[in-house]
Structures are given as C-alpha cells and as structure tokens.
Structure 1
C-alpha cells in the first residue's frame, strides 16, 4: 500500500511537470532558447576603392562611420540592390549631409555567405498596445518600445562582427525582404495588424530604446534601391532616422508611420533638407548631438559625442530642449 502511494505521488508529480512544460511551450511570452548561428565569414570587396571614396574626409569635422555587408549568395532573382547601386546611394548620402557639416566615413564593404533563412525576416514582434490620443507617438514608443524577433536577433548576431565601436557604427545590411508589422485603426474601436514591406529599415532608438542590444543598435537593412528616388534618398533617409533620431516628420507635420510630403529628408518624397531650429523640429541640432558622430583629433583618436543617457528615446536627456512636445491624435471617434 505504501509503495502504491509513492507510485501515485510520483505519477502525479510527473503529470504536473508535463503539463507545466506544455504550458510553457504554448506560451508565446515564454523564453525560447535560440539555436546558435555560425558567424558569417566576411571578406572585403576588392572592387570598391574605399580610400578613394574617403579621399575628401577632413580631420576635426563631425564624422559618421558606415560599414556595408553585402551577402554573396542572394537568390538569383533578387536584383533590387546591387553593389554599385548601394555605393552610389552612400555617395548621395555624403552629398545630402555635406551642408550640415557631417561627413561619412566608409569603413569597408564586405561580402560573404549569409544563412538564406535570414534573407527575409520580420524585423520586430507584432505590437500589442496601439497608440491612442493620450500621448504622442514618441511618448508611446518610450512606454511600449519595439522588440526584435528572436530570428532577427539571430540574423544580426551572425552578421555583425564584434568590435569595441559596434554601438557607435552604422551597418548597412543588404537583405531581400524585411517586414515591419504595426497596428492601424480598422473601424470603430478596432485595430488591425498590418505589415509593410520595407525598402530600408533603420531600427531607430526612438522606437526600440533599450530593447535592442547595444552592439546592434547601428543596424540598417537595405532591401530596395531599384528606382532613382530610392537610391538617391534611401540610405540618407535611413541614416537620418538613426542619427537625427526622429520618425517621418517635417516642420509642422507631426510624425506617423508614413508621411508623404515635399521638402524634408525625413518624409517620403523628393526632399533632402535637414532643417534647423524649432520650426525645423531641431533636425540639424539633433543630428549634431548624435552619439554616432565623432571628431578625429590631431593624434588620430576619435572624440565621440556623449552617449545616450536613457537608451535613446526621442526625449533622451542628451537632446536637452531640442525636442518637440506635441499632443497625441485621437485614433477613433471621441464618443466611442
């Protein structure tokens, strides 16, 4: 009888353990161990003359470091980004940022075989809390920052090479598809999940704040430079999201997921302006305060701008009064 009781208790404990395991496996919020992905073996592209590209750099001037990762094994049918086109796009970015006093330093262009499952990724987890009228877009993102998917983390970890300046460097990573899910009002008090196929995605700190690991906060994915307007502005625009640390906004236009207008680099259109002052939403001033910028001293060392104090949200203390306090917008009827 005593042995039977022991057996019954043992079976009960086993059953509870199995149910707990099943519960954890069915819980989307449960911690999932990611399978380690081998690091990509990168080689410099000899056909790109980096020294010539950087021939006009000046010591003592605000500088931004950029590295390019171009997979060598992209699918044969993918032609929206070519090596010459991305170099042309970085050259255009140099021209666009030149009037601001910021120069771009091309560190290298590298190629190597990337795990094909990372050619197409979903950038971040589908958000669960929609933006409403109580706070503006930036305040909402500070409270509910975006989070990388586990697969995207694995992809980035396999691509980015470890370096002391990882968190200060911007990396242009060529992929085939990067999807960005977001919430949009459907009707009434209902929201629906939408996903946009991006041509470039900057993973900006105003959106991700502290949720993106510091060594990878400089990533920018590039997936479409096929049209003249794309290869002229895409890289400069995505660098702007990262370095100016603002969304799609311009002058009196408050930020949204998509804003089409003319005049400014940070909206969808043909504009290339990076305006200054409160009317210009402090874009120039915020650019000059970016932790991604440095000046090269006479002894050859980099004097970096101060780093973020609170993860890099839009209102991070490093920006002081170079911010815009604007009201939230009602997403649905006020009488819902």
Structure 2
C-alpha cells in the first residue's frame, strides 16, 4: 500500500509539470524592440549649449508608442520638459546633460508593468546603516525586469556608461520596514521614478543595465519639475534619500535637498553636505571631451556600493535605524 501511494504521488507531481514547456521557458529568447527616432525632437537644439571640457552625462530616452490608452501619467512632452528641468537643476554643479536620442517603438505590453527587485528576505536592523546592509545584501533584479531591459535597451559598447530614461506604466519597488518590536512587514511602493542605483544593486545588476531609470509619473507639477533630476541624482551621486542632517531612508519627505521627497533642489558639498557634489563629480557616468575624445571618470572598483573605494573619504558612516525596539 505504501509503495502504491508513493507511485501515485510521483505520477501526480509529474502530471502537474510540463518538461517541454519548462525547457522552452528556460531558453526563452527575448524579442528586442524595433526603435525609431522621434523626428519632432530636435536633439541638436537641445544640446546647443554643451560646453567642451565640462563634466557631462549621456542620456537616452525610450518612449513606448503603444502604451495603454488609459495611461496619462507620462507624455513625451512631459518627459522632455522634465529633462530640461534636470538640465537647469544640475547647471550650478558644473555638470551638463548630453541628450543622445529620443526613440519610440512598440514594447511588449508584458513589460509595461514590472516589479523592480525580488522581495528582500533579510531586513535592515539597528546594527548597521542601510548602505552597509545593501552592500552585504544587495537588491536583486527580478527575472521579469531583466527581460524587459533586454528587450528595451539596444546593445552598445557604452551601455554601462549611458543613462536610459524609460517610460513604463508601473514599476513596483518592494522593501522591508520595521512594524514593531521584532516584526517587519514588506511594503511595495508604486514608483513615479526609479533609478536602480548601484548603492542598492551593486554587482547584482548587469553592467549593460546599470544606467536604467524608469519614469512612470510626471503628471503633478512637482513631479514634472523634479522627478528626472531626482532620479538622475540617485544614479550619479549614488546616494539614497538624504540631505545634510537627514539620514538616508527608502522614503524621506522633507524640503531642502534634491535627494529628498519635497521641493528642494540643493546639491550640497563638503562633509556637512554629505559630499553630494563631490560624489557627483566622481561618477563613472560622467566624462569630459578632450581633443574630441570622451575621457570617462574612473569606474567603480567594487561594483558601486556607497562605500566603493572610488569615493575615498567622500562617505558618511551613519548609525543604524533608531526606531527599532531595543527591548525586543
């Protein structure tokens, strides 16, 4: 009887699986989008004020042509205005934006909505700050997100140095936060913009996609003004939501600095300013033109975590989360 039961269980498991289907999925070939340039956007005019020898970031724009008709959170006109705003916000720092292209094409609707990273299994505790925790337990792209970026981003020699602004309808970012005592809860945020920063993903994100920024909501005036600049800040300063005396966190609502959720646009310098300006100027996404050649900044030495040796002393050693109950 026991042998018969075991045989029955084996047959049930086998009948529930499809080896042929599983083999096909494991060898799935992601179809790449056929992009074309948007003729109505004058790239040369946008870049007419670029200065030779000035620190520069290369930015490309991918805007799907077949977004759902009910989606109105981002238009191409809004995207371009937000990039112009970012150009203005970064101007005082001595960093300029070089717009490489603006392209449109039909994207597989399966990729209109993605979950950015796998749900983390190890929460951040009071023993170390979020940057140390992220170095030890970096975020992991979901397989679906990797497929989306493989489909969207065109292979180029300079992929890992280029920043890509990609319009998607929904990008969800799950993270863990303390609820009470020794309990944590998973929170998933519907993002208006997500920068996939190396301080969070480090070596886990494929180099070809480390310049990705998704944009999903520019509908409000404050989002239109600051979202692209804010997400570029995450990417090129490689810091979370923080500013002067405000410690980093997943969600920090306050005014003052560009890297907070608020109306601020300041990019401060020095230790008091958390080295934001200095870290910006060291970014591997920046270069200078010398004798007609791009001279890139040095690349990350350890994948781009917050304390990467690239930054030398331009780091802050924060304490862990104070809100965790020490009497658990």
Change (3 A) 1:54 1:140: same
Query: Structure 1 residue 16: deviation in Å?
Result: 11
Distance 1:48 1:248 in 2: 32
2:203 pairs with 1:191? no
2:48 pairs with 1:64? no
Please name the residue that 1:130 is paired with.
Answer: 123
Which has the higher Rg, Structure 1 or Structure 2? 1
Please name the residue that 1:335 is paired with.
Answer: 327
SS at match of 2:26: coil
Please name the residue that 1:4 is paired with.
Answer: none
2:240 pairs with 1:247? yes
Query: Structure 1 residue 99: deviation in Å?
Result: 0.3
- 1:36, 1:154 within 8 Å by CA — same for their partners in 2? no
Please name the residue that 2:3 is paired with.
Answer: none
Query: Structure 1 residue 225: deviation in Å?
Result: 0.2
Residue correspondence of structure 1 range 11-50 to structure 2 within 5 A:
33=26, 35-50=28-43
Residue correspondence of structure 1 range 258-273 to structure 2 within 5 A:
258-273=251-266
Please name the residue that 2:315 is paired with.
Answer: 323
Change (3 A) 1:18 1:153: farther
2:205 pairs with 1:216? no
Number of residue pairs the alignment of both structures matches: 317
Please name the residue that 2:301 is paired with.
Answer: 309
Please name the residue that 2:271 is paired with.
Answer: 278
Query: Structure 1 residue 333: deviation in Å?
Result: 1.3
Query: Structure 1 residue 307: deviation in Å?
Result: 0.2
Output one character per residue of 1:3-61: Cα deviation in whole Å (capped at 9) or x when no partner. Answer: xxxxxxxxxxx999989989x99xxxxxx826222100000000000000000001111
SS at match of 2:303: coil
2:93 pairs with 1:100? yes
Distance 1:18 1:251 in 2: 63
Please name the residue that 1:54 is paired with.
Answer: 47
SS at match of 2:150: helix
Structure 1 residue runs of 4 or more that deviate by more than 4 Å after TM superposition:
14-22
Change (3 A) 1:17 1:65: farther
SS at match of 1:233: helix
> When the two structures are superposed, what TM-score results if normalisation uses the length of structure 2?
0.93
SS at match of 1:158: helix
Query: Structure 1 residue 330: deviation in Å?
Result: 3.8
Please name the residue that 1:293 is paired with.
Answer: 286
Please name the residue that 2:197 is paired with.
Answer: 204
Please name the residue that 2:4 is paired with.
Answer: none
SS at match of 2:148: helix
Distance 1:218 1:17 in 2: 46
Runs of at least 5 residues in structure 1 that lack an aligned partner in the other structure: 1-13, 26-31
Distance 1:89 1:210 in 2: 29
Query: Structure 1 residue 163: deviation in Å?
Result: 0.5
Change (3 A) 1:20 1:307: farther
Please name the residue that 1:179 is paired with.
Answer: 172
Query: Structure 1 residue 297: deviation in Å?
Result: 1.2
SS at match of 2:274: coil
Distance 1:211 1:17 in 2: 37
Runs of at least 5 residues in structure 2 that lack an aligned partner in the other structure: 1-6, 19-24
Query: Structure 1 residue 190: deviation in Å?
Result: 1.2
Change (3 A) 1:130 1:235: same
